[in-house]
Amino acid sequence: MTALAIDIGGTKFAVAVVHPDGTMTRRAELPVGPDPVATLASLVRDAGAAGLTGVGIGSAGPIDALAGTVSPVNIPSWRGFPLVDTVRELLADLHDLPDPHGFPVALAGDGQCMALGEWWRGGHGGHGSAPRVLLGIVVSTGVGGGLVLDGVPYLGPTGNAGHIGHIAIDPHGQRCPCGAVGCLETIASGPSMVRWALANGWTCPAAHPDAKALAADAARGVPVAQLAFQRTADALAAAILTTAALFDVDDVVIGGGVAAAGETLLAPLRQAVAKQAGLDFLHRLTVSRTTLERDAGLYGAAALVLPSEGRTPYRGP
Ligand SMILES: [Zn+2]
């Protein structure tokens, strides 16, 4: 029993072969490049097919898990792209599977796979401990996420559950590119933070202002940069507590480029959660940073199709 895990990001694709005991081999990644299908084919070919029993794919959204299609915002040539069928065809071409159309290929969102991977391999549940509820959040160019409820990724009827970036934080706030008003993403994404900081007097020392430079300035004590992180922490805390009130969440794990700021984000976030939390059960929430980094998404993708030990099996959207 071996899974091929595929992580479709907006700028990079990654693959790995993952075994039920959590061993990861043949991990590789490539920039998406001008021909995303060729990039994917190259990675799949190099990973090999020995003993492969399923393929799990985590993809940047939006996705349609029922149709097996994806439309990653940063890959404009993929709109309603038939990713599941394409992967099946690649496998059939490259590895001569007896029944490529019957081969298990599961698709979920990248945030959902991150949450499931952290649950399985990141010390946030699993490993024989009691079933728990985990919220994973990816704070990056956008804000994504996923929920694991008692060991099962909750994907929703279309595969889009967990879009925490589009929880309304401020009904009087800015219009979000998604069409709604005051989404978490309009405040807490890397580009939103940088925009706000620049509009409020931040002078970036780097040639291209980005969240990394903003984090460096916040860590150095530049007040406007610290305020930008405080603002993001407040908005994230509101979204986390909203989700926790609905799902009785135990653990929150945060990944993505903005979370690479570490305690610059986590310290004000923990304080904001403690300050905003009301009901008793919300006060037991723990918030930590991913320990698996990008591998969380690969582990989660693999877990979609691997037999489970101590995990409730995934049953599809
Ligand atoms: Zn939105």
Residue 311 scores a pLDDT above 70: no
From ligand 1's centre to the CA of 166, what distance in Å?
4
pTM, whole model, 2 decimals?
A: 0.90
From ligand 1's centre to the CA of 165, what distance in Å?
6
From ligand 1's centre to the CA of 39, what distance in Å?
30
Query: What pLDDT digit, counting tens, does each position of 166-215 carry?
Result: 999 999 999 998 899 999 999 999 999 999 999 999 998 888 899 999 99
From ligand 1's centre to the CA of 187, what distance in Å?
10
pLDDT (average), residues 280-300: 92
The pLDDT of residue 190: 94
From ligand 1's centre to the CA of 249, what distance in Å?
22
CATH of domain 2-111+296-303: 3.30.420.40
Query: What pLDDT digit, counting tens, does each position of 255-268 carry?
Result: 998 999 999 999 99
From ligand 1's centre to the CA of 164, what distance in Å?
9
From ligand 1's centre to the CA of 229, what distance in Å?
20
Query: What pLDDT digit, counting tens, does each position of 113-168 carry?
Result: 999 999 888 876 544 454 589 999 999 888 999 999 987 889 888 888 999 999 99
The pLDDT of residue 26: 92
Query: What pLDDT digit, counting tens, does each position of 102-117 carry?
Result: 788 999 999 999 999 9
From ligand 1's centre to the CA of 180, what distance in Å?
5
From ligand 1's centre to the CA of 137, what distance in Å?
15
From ligand 1's centre to the CA of 181, what distance in Å?
7
From ligand 1's centre to the CA of 185, what distance in Å?
6
From ligand 1's centre to the CA of 175, what distance in Å?
8
Instruction: Give the separation between CA 42 and CA 24, rounded to whole angstroms.
Output: 19
From ligand 1's centre to the CA of 285, what distance in Å?
25
Query: What pLDDT digit, counting tens, does each position of 16-54 carry?
Result: 999 988 999 999 999 999 999 999 999 998 887 778 889
Residue 88 scores a pLDDT above 70: yes
Q: Where are the domains of the chain?
A: 2-111+296-303, 127-290
Q: What's 127-290's CATH class? A: alpha beta
From ligand 1's centre to the CA of 296, what distance in Å?
25
Q: Fold match between 2-111+296-303 and 127-290?
A: yes
Residue 272 scores a pLDDT above 60: yes
pLDDT (average), residues 83-104: 81
Residue 34 burial (C-beta neighbours within 10 Å; 0-12, 13-18, 19+): exposed
The pLDDT of residue 314: 58
